Amino acid sequence: MTRRGSQHLVRLACILGGIALSSLLVFVGLAASQASAESRPRLAALGPDEPLCEPRRLLFQAVTVEGEIVRVLSHRAFALRSRSVRQGLLVVLSDQAMQREALLAVGRRVVVSGTVRLLGRQEGRALEREFGLDLNRDGLPIAYGNHPYVLALEVHLGGAHSSSWHR
């Protein structure tokens, strides 16, 4: 092999090694954040109005929200009844929370643990890509655009964790 060919192989090996290392670091970081979220003590449950009325204070924070399902929008999304916003607080289920979707029903009380996020255009596209949601079909950008929502990691039935979503 020529000297030039071996230099190309060394560069290619360095690039591939860098990609593999960065992928490993991302994977380890995600696993560590998941483990820290699971070991965190449960917070007192908020009402659905608190993330809607105080989004800046709660944005990107882990929260527990308790409320009544007022609308089931899809197999991954529902709204909790709110006194301050007619359409309610949007909740989107992550893969981790998608254990028993059949339990979603209007009128059912749930306790949701997750992260408060803002449903902007880029966030909406990310939800569509990652979770296969069709936001436009469900009218979510119109009803919930630029409003806070909860990306749920865990959902329990009933108030005060009376029965668990994950049995």
Q: Where are the domains of the chain?
A: 1-39, 49-161
User: Which candidate, 105, 65, 71, places its Cα nearest to that of 88?
Assistant: 71
Three-state secondary structure string covering 67-120 = EEEEEEEECCEEEECCCCCCCCEEEEECCCCCCCHHHCCCCCEEEEEEEEEECC
- Assess if CATH 2.40.50.140 describes domain 49-161: yes
pLDDT band of 37, cuts 50, 70, 90: low
112-151 pLDDT, tens digit each: 999 999 888 888 788 778 877 776 665 565 567 678 999 9
Inter-residue contact 38 to 62 (CB < 8 Å):
no
**Separation between Cα atoms, residue 46 and residue 122, nearest integer Å:** 27
User: In terms of pLDDT, which residue wins out, 69 or 124?
Assistant: 69
Has this prediction a pTM greater than 0.85? Answer: no
- What percentage of residues in the chain have a pLDDT greater than 70? 74
Closest CA to 147 of 63, 83, 72, 90: 90
Q: How far is CA 151 from CA 3, 9, 132, in A?
A: 53, 44, 14
Contact 63, 114 (CB under 8 A): yes
